[in-house]
Amino acid sequence: MTQQSLCNDQPVETKEGIMALLSDKGGAQYYAEMETLAVNPQKIQGILEKTCKSRTHTWLNICAHCGMCAESCFIYKANGNDPKQVPAYKIQSTLGELIKRKGNVDAKFMMHAMEVAWAGCTCCNRCALFCPHGIDTGVMFSYLRGILFATGFVPWELKIGSGMHRVYSAQMDVTTEDWVDTCEWMAEEQQDEWPGLEIPLDKEDADIMYVLNAREVKHYPEDIAKAAILFHLAGENWTVPSEGWENTSLAMFAGDWEGAKRHVERLYGAMKRLRPKRVVGTECGHAHRATAIEGPYWAGLEDGQTPVPYLHYVQWVAEALRTGKLKIDPKKKIKEPCTLQDSCNYVRNCGLGKYTREIMSYIAEDFREMDENQDFNYCCGGGGGLNGIGRFRKQRNIGLLPKLNQIRATGARLVVTPCHNCWDAIRDMMEEYEVHDIKWTFLKPLLLDMIIRPGDK
């Protein structure tokens, strides 16, 4: 068994490497090579000896196999309570076995571990709320993903995504020039309706520095304009950085910890360079986790804090509504039944559910909670990178059902979802299961439709 041309244990560091992977439609050659990819037990054992600390060993050893984590897992429920989908079983049969065997496994085992790590767990961390011993299987699966990435057993799309971060400093091939041009273009596009609207670049000592998702630049540039208009209406002194603007981290999803470290250091570098009072991140859950929760430790910041205070977009919106910087026209509130999908990454990891519900109290007349919500919220079905992995699309589609059933049970006709991955998953579930009477939306377009503007009576 040998290292292969596309599937190997080296991260992608060049544009040529990215293009080679992209030219392999659906990763056909990549996965064929993976079946004979060399497994290096010494490398795996070296990683384990260096990084597998007492907490992980303790969690694996004290698991009582009580099954309390089973019902907590949306994937277990979606698959008819299949015992092989119990979180404890999934982690013991992959990471647990890898440790027991000291890395002496073959490519077939590693490919199975890859499937479980990305299609059997979205690292939503819900199971940790129910474990009597406080075991967090999601954290252990994140750790397993790191081992798999380091040995070449990572889904094709996430190998590409990790490479994008290393080469372009973004999850997509968006250059600094592309980004700056998009800001200028979006500001110009708004001049008829919003004369003088700016998207300020590299303003030092602003009150807010805004960072966002490369998908907005590549596919949804109007989202940047909407954010600019809302900051403008709120009277904010704000800016965006020309470099270090990308907030998301496919490197984190891929288990590419070095890539994740490099990425967040660029973002922190923009904070230090421009010295804003605060940073606001766009409507994305995992971007918040990568920047505010994991990022400080990747970057070696011992206090666990970002260089300047960091807020998720929902925190800024709630504050703006609470203080009157943004005011809602009562006649334009949401009249139809609506519900809310919170991202696992800012609810369970950051406790931001109170802010989204505060926002809903301002904008909705018939808000309906799902049966499990806030800290106990179920994953949308596509988190942890699962949305974008074609090889595991069937498993992802099955995993969408618990959330779809929750939404249907509320009777809502609109789902508010301040997270890109959740938005994508809900869009896909409505298409996959041919649901035509439920809509979904980010916050920004909703707010723009109902905000009182200068001159409104």
Other C-beta atoms lying within 10 Å of the C-beta of residue 324: 8
Length of the chain in terms of residues written:
457
In the chain, % of residues over pLDDT 90: 96
pLDDT in the model for residue 454 = 83
**pLDDT at residue number 62:** 95
Q: Which pLDDT does position 3 carry in this prediction?
A: 54
Six-digit token string for 256? 């590419």
Report yes or no: 308 and 271 within 8 Å, Cβ to Cβ.
yes
Residue 457 has pLDDT above 90, yes or no: no
Please determine, for residue 1, whether its predicted confidence score (pLDDT) is greater than 50. no
pLDDT in tens, 265-309: 999 999 999 999 999 999 999 999 999 999 999 999 999 999 999
Q: What is the mean pLDDT of residues 203-216?
A: 97
User: Which uninterrupted H or E stretch holds 340?
Assistant: strand 338-340
pLDDT of residue 268: 98
pLDDT digits (tens, 9 = 90+) for 376-405: 999 999 999 999 999 999 999 999 999 999
All residues at 6 or more sequence positions from 330 whose CB lies less than 8 Å from its CB, including other chains: none
Write down the pTM of the prediction: 0.95
% of the chain exceeding 70 in pLDDT: 99
Per-residue pLDDT of 171-199, as tens digits, reads 999 999 999 999 999 999 999 999 989 99
